[in-house]
Structure 1
Amino acid sequence: MDVATSDAPIGLPGEAAAASDSLPCRRPLLLRWGKHLRGTFDRLIAASSLVPNAPVLDMRAFPWTAVLRADWEAIRNEALAAIAAQPGAPSLAAISPDHRAIAVPGKWRSLFLWGYGYRIDENLARCPHTSRLIEQVPGLNSAIFSILAPGTHIPPHRGVTKGLITCHLGLVVPRDGDVRMRIGSRVVRWAEGETLVFDDTYDHEVWNDSAHTRIVLLIQFRRPLRNPGRWIADTLIGVLRRSAFVQEARANLRRWHRGETLADA
């Protein structure tokens, strides 16, 4: 089993990525066909990739991750303050119905800063230093403080497109148990202040087998690509951004910030 170090970033799953093929039919038509088409799209994107297509990528291929590692304590302090303040961080199952197949209500919470290219201004204002840092990420798609309660298991799932890559920055990692992710056939772990970069289109699952909460900064960014893969990935991400399940999540976030009670919260 691997342990994340500053030389070889290894880590956890694409928690905020879309879930497995068993999700409800509310997903965009193009994504519902993904069971048949996603493999073709992903192969075309992989063939155009300017970085390796391995499950776990070398963070040194992404120099901006060094900025996150250098300021991780400031990011953690803003995360803890924002999570503790009202209205706090909602259950992911309440914000994104598309995640209900894998997110136990109340066990996996997410404080969104960016989501599919949309700014969450209320939360960015609560985390100004983090906001400045993540805006330097090339191809930023989403940025989320991902909060996993003790004893939580996120079942196997996959992201929807190889056009996105995920980075985790460990902020609070319990040491009293085993907090880990399986990605493909590999088991990996976080370390506080370290980044890991991975491809969440590989089947992956997560465990927090400890008595304490785990918190990471989860960033999704666009894979560096040449054409035709770049055009394919941009088209798919554009479909996702305009889709009903992303727009519903945005509406639920607005309701949450107005103080309304959400289902599964």
Structure 2
Amino acid sequence: MDFERYIKGRDTFAVRFGKWVRWPLNRFLARQSLIGTEPFYDAGQILGLDALRENWHVIRDEAAALMQERDKVPPLGEISPDHRALASTSKWKSFFFTGYGYQAPANRALCPGTAALVDRVPNLVVAFFSVFEPGTYVRPHRGVTKAMLNVHLGLIVPQGPERCEIRVEDEVRGWKPGEYMIFDETFEHEVWNETREPRVILFLQVMRPMRWRGHYLSRFFLWCIKRTSFVQDIRRALNAS
């Protein structure tokens, strides 16, 4: 399956408005950040991640069992039209647990240990397994908002001479099983898996630590995003509630 011919419909007013305000808003949020505005961060700078790392084998084992039945992991572009420009083929797969307050009950039932653990993460916005099949490439792009940070927990990481990495600005890093990679998605980044094996991570988005003005403005911005097609298309595709 591929989505190369996909043509996105006209954005709603809410989406157009969000795109217009996001860069001035991000400049304000950068000044409100309690941890600076670097491309990468250490796990110790984000509270509430210890339980996931301590129990990462539970998460890894559930992900490995899921990978034995690949048809249960849909392509990201299939369930999220807004991601099809980046996820234009079926090689980037996603298995959602929660997002913007919605939960995917069928997925959570298949991986109950992971679902219970991600529920313990404070200020969680999104949680899903991100699967890069061999040959996956995501072109350079920037995320929407500094309100959140991307948190990757390595689960199944290909070994060998071929590269499976991410570039954020000028720095290239690879994943390690049981370890975190945390970065600000508003910096330009691209991702690739040139190996012959799939790469599986637990992908979280969590609220950035902010001063109170930035904190409440971030929550309002995410409340608005929740009501757009960007989130609602995925909710409907997964029968989330």
TM-score, scaled to structure 2: 0.90
**Is 1:94 aligned with 2:75?**
no
8 Å CA contact retained: 1:25, 1:32: no
Find 1:82's aligned residue among 32, 52, 66.
Answer: 66
| Structure 2 counterpart of 1:241 | 226
The separation in 2 between residues aligned to 1:66 and 1:163, in whole angstroms, is: 22
2:239 corresponds in structure 1 to 254
Using the aligned pairs only, state the percent identity: 39
* C-alpha contact (below 8 Å) 1:65/1:195 kept by paired residues: no
1:187 aligned partner? 172
| Whole-angstrom CA distance in 2 between matches of 1:204 and 1:28 | 26
Match of 1:145 in 2: 129
Amino acid at match of 1:230: H
- Flag the 1:252–1:104 CA change in 2: closer, same or farther, 3 A: same
SS where residue 112 of structure 1 aligns? Answer: strand
- Who is 1:67 aligned against? 51
Once the two structures are TM-superposed, the CA of residue 246 in structure 1 deviates from its matched residue by 1.3
Q: Tell me how far apart the structure 2 counterparts of residues 245 and 166 of structure 1 sit (CA, whole Å).
A: 17
Of structures 1 and 2, the one with the larger relative CO (CA 8 A, separation 6+) is 1
> What residue ranges of structure 2 are gaps of 5+ in the alignment?
1-6
Query: 1:228 aligns to what SS in structure 2?
Result: helix
Residue 113 of structure 2 corresponds to 129
Structure 2 counterpart of 1:13:
none
1:16-35 maps to which residues of 2 (within 5 A)? 24=8, 26-34=10-18
Contact 1:111 1:144 in 2 (8 A): yes
CA RMSD across the alignment: 1.9
- Contact 1:163–1:223 at 8 Å: present in 2 too? yes
- Aligned-residue offset at 1:87: 5.4
Larger displacement relative to structure 2 (162-171 or 69-78): 69-78
Contact residue 113 and residue 143 of structure 1 kept, 8 A: yes
Point out where structure 1 has 5 or more consecutive residues left out of the alignment. Answer: 1-22, 256-265
Say if 2:150 and 2:204, in contact at 8 Å, map to a contact too.
yes
Offset, 1:236: 1.2
Instruction: Give the SS at the match of 2:239.
Output: helix
The aligned counterpart of 2:158 is: 174
User: Partner residue of 1:104?
Assistant: 88
TM-score (structure 1 length as normaliser): 0.82
1:214 equivalent in alignment to 2:195: no
CA distance in 2, matches of 1:252, 1:36: 27
Shift of 1:89: 0.7
Aligned structure 1 segments of 4 or more residues deviating by more than 6 angstroms: none
**Alpha-carbon displacement from aligned partner over 1:190-226 (angstroms, at most 9, x marks no partner):** 1011111111111100010101100000001111212
- Opposite residue 187 of structure 1, the aligned amino acid is V
